Amino acid sequence: MNPENETPAARPNNAKTFKMIAKTLSGLENVLAQELTELGADKIETGRRMVAFEGDKSLMYKTNFNCRTALRILKHIDAFQAKNPDEVYKHVKQLPWEHFLKGKKTFAIDAVVFSDAFAHSKFVAYRVKDAIVDKFTEQNLQRPSVRITNPDVRIHVHISHTDCTVAFDSSGESLHRRGYRVEDGTAPLSEVLAAGMVLLSGWKGESAFVDPMAGSGTLLIEAALIALNIAPGVFRKNYAFEKWDDFDPELFEYISSDDSKEREFNFKCYGSDVSPRAIAAAAKNVRNAGLEKYVDLKVSSLRNIKNAPDKHGIIITNPPYGERLNPTDLLETYSVLGERLKHVFPGYTAWVMSANKDGFDKIGMKHCAKIALMNGPIECEFRQYELFEGKRVVATEENGKKSSAIMQRIPPPPAVSMAETSKCSILHRPPIRIA
């Protein structure tokens, strides 16, 4: 075979490996670790809202394109100890920025600080910027400019106590912004969180999927993508690594065009909502994702749901909490949800995410599992309910085994000590950005 005609996958596997960090949402760390394992990542370590791993350039491209529960993929550059901003300046200035930013015109800095020794994240970001600019000035090189939006290189600086980490953002815009959403509902669910909820349930398309409070359709779309095993990156227009000097367009084209793992989905995802406006938005998003064949939508209140679409299936829904939305009778919504689940969907498994404890009580059923999740700044619980057919005493043992099997596949998020937190270089906190 002529080497020039070989596919990237056929070439010798001698690519250089390096450390990377995948950021995620609280409660999804082990789901993301499983995704990284399936993609071939090495030396995987979970932390709070992040997973560290090692791999080569090909894996960096694959994780950006395929990971459903990653917010962004960072390439580790350096780690050091610093007790104040001046020490950060000194260490950062020693890095070979003339190599990192060679031929680049713009860069941006995101700084995240968890330390009493550093009073202001913004000041840390400014000192990092000064170190980079001074390095170019002292070497009589043309200095790049700082640009917040769409820079050539985005630099992440994270400080936990005195542990400092510098990394390059390979993703650019957050990976939760898939690219299919053209219409938002009220308080839309993050695509990463929606995908994580579906993956936590263990459902992969082997039955009907139902969301009776679908909003703008994010859960339905992410579920359909999982059922079909379509990579979330298919809608994405660009990544930050495409601006890097070592970008391999042929390799990325090979990875992004590989649909060999896609599969058939012989059921459908069914969504309804009391709001015609929400269903209209969901329809536009479903159409933009090319999933009309697999997603059925209708305007309907919970009370008007009379029939299940299939004998067996799964329900995953995210009812209003009363945090950002204020229905006239919030608790009544939960009461009706519980009544509909029991009487319309026997034989199904239901998962409900909410931050409203009184609402959970109104559902009127005992949950068999619960997982702590974060919806933005809101602490939530993701609870599982088995909806029994016939007499409960007959179904209890079988469904109990099913619940146990599901939870064995979903280990709880790791308990991380303060010392371990320091090692977990990147945590999920809105960064300070400087211009």
Q: Which residue type does 141 have?
A: L
Q: Find the mean pLDDT for residues 149-159.
A: 92
Half-sphere exposure of 359 (CA within 13 A, CB side): 22
Q: Compute CA distances 311 → 265, 281, 307, whole Å.
A: 17, 29, 10
What pLDDT sits at residue 34? 98
pLDDT at 61 exceeding the cut of 90: yes
pLDDT band for position 1 (cuts 50, 70, 90): very low
| 3-state secondary structure (DSSP) of residue 123 | helix
**Model-level pTM?**
0.86
What pLDDT sits at residue 389? 74
Q: What is the pLDDT of residues 90-120, one digit of tens each?
A: 999 999 999 999 877 899 999 989 888 887 7
Q: What is the pLDDT of residues 231-279, one digit of tens each?
A: 999 999 999 999 998 999 999 999 999 999 999 999 999 999 999 999 9
Q: What is the pLDDT of residues 173-201, one digit of tens each?
A: 999 999 999 877 666 899 999 999 999 99
What pLDDT sits at residue 2? 40
- How high is the mean pLDDT of the chain? 87
pLDDT band for position 398 (cuts 50, 70, 90): very low
Domain 191-231+262-387 annotated CATH 3.10.180.10: no
Q: Give the contacts of 335 (CB within 8 A, at least 6 positions apart).
A: 362, 363, 364
- Give the relative orientation of helices 29-38 and 191-201 as an angle to the nearest 10 degrees: 80
What pLDDT sits at residue 119? 77
pLDDT at 56 exceeding the cut of 60: yes
Q: What is the pLDDT of residues 293-317, one digit of tens each?
A: 999 999 999 999 999 999 999 999 9
What pLDDT sits at residue 179? 92
| 3-state secondary structure (DSSP) of residue 299 | strand
Q: Sheet with 208-211: list strands edge to edge.
A: 295-299, 269-273, 208-211, 313-317, 349-354, 378-386, 369-375
- Give the relative orientation of helices 218-228 and 276-288 as an angle to the nearest 10 degrees: 30
Q: Compute CA distances 49 → 32, 323, 428, whole Å.
A: 10, 23, 6
What pLDDT sits at residue 396? 41
Alpha helix ranges (H) inside 262-313: 276-288
Which of these CATH numbers, 3.50.30.50, 3.30.2130.30, 3.10.450.50, 3.90.1150.10, describes 3-7+16-55+72-170+416-434?
A: 3.30.2130.30
CA–CA distance, 139 with 141 (Å, rounded to integer): 5
pLDDT band for position 419 (cuts 50, 70, 90): very low
* Domain edges within the chain: 3-7+16-55+72-170+416-434, 191-231+262-387
Question: What pairing do the DSSP bridges indicate for beta strands 269-273 and 163-169?
Answer: unpaired
Q: How far is CA 224 from the centre of its chain?
A: 16
Which segment of 31-35, 325-329, 357-361 scores lowest on mean pLDDT? 325-329
Q: How far is CA 123 from the centre of its chain?
A: 29
Among residues 324, 312, 413, 330, the alpha carbon closest in space to that of 370 is found at 413
- Residue 162: other Cβ atoms inside 10 A: 15
Beta-bridge partners for 37 = none
